[in-house]
Structure 1
């Protein structure tokens, strides 16, 4: 059985405020804004705040790394979203195996709720908060957003390279680190930690993208997620990134990311 793992070198994050990028869009950048404190551990994220006037939509961005590290820092897509006029909160969360499921999902939910509670401070429209994740981050934003029981109710979710049904990897050491028990002893826990089992009729619209040659998180996972959403009549769009694998899709799938941004923008008008 192929193992799900996602490991890349962390990209450099510019720490200057008032940055200007392609297209002339300007935004302020605030690094390591704390959204949650657990004992002595602080969890935070980087905020990108466009300088355009009035209330703005926002996106919480969640990194990958097999739930055990931050191997993809999501800086690139965060800049693209900010350049498109979204307030972006690119967050960190607790990692396995030191912290087991559902700690990571709880952290993502806390970040969503923090952004909602601070919407006025950052000129955010609290009714227009969306989510975006890649790899393990896609898994977590779906888990936190598909069947939310309290605000913010997400406008949409973009999920790339998504681990959707963890039971398809019964021997995965990474899923074992996340759950803390083998599937043979805790099948219900593995099922409960799978986004395909959290779709409800009022789940937010979802845009899925996945590398055609992904051998780490097989493209079957995108198809399973799309089918689960369609079964509940939830709006879903799927995009296959041709000729790319898991890592390459994270780095090179700019076209898919632009489609995700367009999808996110489109759902704001619902």
Structure 2
């Protein structure tokens, strides 16, 4: 079953999410995953419906959300929208038969950046139990001349290094970080695989549970479209940690 909800209104803009709900068995509480699309923060290019359907088949509630897009809306607008979606789901966990101790996140590319940026900073009581992130831009400062990141932040790094650092998930890894599954196409030239390794190393140093999957055959888009093995491993990771 799918239910479309408005989780936030910003002026005339309604931010919606699709709640994909598996059949509830004997009133048991179910785990849930907030799913965040990619698209360079500027468009909804990463349709996540297929991942949501896989999650539902595995017994998860999947909340497939939207967010305000750059460059019309600058950081932290997108971060705020993802946080609002997370708050919305936590507050309504009982209504939808969700276990609030088992709410996780999943994103690809810009969506991975946003769910990590939000998920790594959640306060106690509303922390995510796990995060799945694919093709992740973890350290934005590695692309000082990127028009996509400049569009997100609003100024180039040479003028706004503090803002670029503040928008980098890598800088929020801590001893409180949830379990994280990272997957990446090793032929990715848009978001280099080094980003996955940087983040995995930082998480391991803080004692977080982390698992990585690199595909030697895929680049950035192919990993999103065809990374079925990684997706299946990620679901198993969520079942164990989410």
TM-score by length of 2: 0.97
1:49 aligns with 2:49: no
Q: Give, in angstroms, the shift of residue 149 of structure 1.
A: 1.9
Per the alignment, residue 3 of structure 2 pairs with 30
Q: How does 1:97-246 map to 2 (within 5 A)?
A: 97-149=71-123, 151-246=125-220
Higher helix proportion: 2
Q: Give, in angstroms, the shift of residue 253 of structure 1.
A: 0.5
Report if the CA contact (8 A) 1:213-1:243 is conserved.
Answer: yes
Q: Give, in angstroms, the shift of residue 150 of structure 1.
A: 5.1
- Residues paired across the two proteins, number: 240
Report if the CA contact (8 A) 1:116-1:151 is conserved.
Answer: no
Quick one: which of 33, 55, 60 aligns to 1:59? Answer: 33
Residues 52-83 of structure 1 show CA distances to partners (whole Å, capped at 9, x for unaligned) of 32210000000000000000110111100011
SS of the aligned residue for 2:21 comes to: strand
SS of the aligned residue for 2:234 comes to: helix
Counterpart Cα distance in 2 of 1:118 and 1:216 = 37
Per the alignment, residue 21 of structure 1 pairs with none
Q: Which runs of 5+ in 1 are unaligned?
A: 1-27
Q: Which runs of 5+ in 2 are unaligned?
A: none
Counterpart Cα distance in 1 of 2:42 and 2:119 = 21
**Over 6 Å off, 4+ runs:** none
1:257 aligns with 2:231: yes
